Amino acid sequence: MVPESSRAGEDGAEAGQLGSMPFVGIPSFLKLPVVTPDASGWHFLILGLPYDEGASNRPGARFGPRAIRNASTLYSYEGNAELFDVELGRKILAGARIADAGDVPIVPGGGAQNREAVSDAVRRIIASGAIPVCLGGDHSVSAPVLRAVSDSSATPHLVHLDTHMDFDSYLPPHTHGTPIRHAVDEGLVSGVTQIGIRGLNSGYEDWLEAGRRGVRVVTAREFRTRGHAHALEQVPEEEALYLSIDIDVFDPSIAPGTGTPEPGGLGYPEVVELVRLLARRGPILGVDLVEVNPAYDHGEITAILAARLLLDVMGAVWEARSV
């Protein structure tokens, strides 16, 4: 007699063959274990930063981490992080140990308290030996993340994928238009390469100043016409990197759910290829993906794109480390 637990169902699938369905259970990232930021034994820890008090236009990115986690359950069928990429012909995270470290406890109007809480959580992740993968939140959260990275390890070269330079002098100091200025002013990075920049919201004087201070800018048009090789030439070889991705680097036709969308953005395949090449260029110490705003996300396509991108980023980092 066949034990009940191993009988095939009417569709021929054996019980236990699949992980739980996306719509069942608590939606941690990829339905993976939930741990504290200082939990040891993990290669990557996912950290939510539900903060959007730095938004200058449409608020709502505080709900981004929850939306990305929920979207990530689309990839949870097999019940683990060893995801098979049919286009690559291999599992992208074979052997990687990934867990969800929950959210930083943001409080409304917390200001410096919130920023220090972000830095503290990231320091704990790095001290545990894991790579922090941070879910924003608006882009202002990148500055406290970078403070923790620069305190805890080598000062990285920042690769910043965005439509905006975020080097603004005309906004208050702790908004989502200022994290790159903070990174340069405070010496949190060894240099900055920005890719995908376009639009009308980066000030002329700030653009000039950024150039004088060594920020390398590859516009969206330049990236399309000169390709990946040109973008990579702006990034030092064999230097530690930190990757900050604003979801509005993508064209709003595929990522409408964001606070400050701008036409003319990049496509998904070209960004994923860029990430894979960057991971081979130098070790990536940390990642943040910011500005997902579910209030404007029709059909959840932005959150799904963000979740898939994070899996591809971790896969690229893992593969580069395993070579």
pLDDT of residue 38: 96
SS3 90: strand
The answer to the question of residue 3 being in a domain is: no
The answer to the question of residue 282 being in a domain is: yes
pLDDT of residue 18: 54
Looking up residue 291, the CATH number of its domain turns out to be 3.40.800.10
The answer to the question of residue 4 being in a domain is: no
The answer to the question of residue 8 being in a domain is: no
Asked if 128 and 145 count as a contact pair (C-beta separation under 8 A), the reply is no
User: What are the structure tokens assigned to 231, written together?
Assistant: 């973008």
SS3 220: helix
What is the tens place of the pLDDT at every residue in 56-78?
889 999 999 999 999 999 999 87
Structural domain count of the chain: 1
Asked if 250 and 262 count as a contact pair (C-beta separation under 8 A), the reply is no
Structure pTM? Answer: 0.92
Residues 6+ apart with CB under 8 A from 86: none
Asked if 24 and 99 count as a contact pair (C-beta separation under 8 A), the reply is no
Give 21's DSSP letter: -
Q: Which amino acid is it at 266?
A: L
The answer to the question of residue 66 being in a domain is: yes
Range of the domain at 165: 15-322
Q: Is the dihedral of CA 60, 65, 66, 69 positive or negative?
A: positive
For the chain, which ranges sit under pLDDT 50? 1-17
pLDDT of residue 323: 65
pLDDT of residue 3: 35
The answer to the question of residue 265 being in a domain is: yes
Cα-based angle 199, 147, 36 (whole degrees, multiple of 5): 110
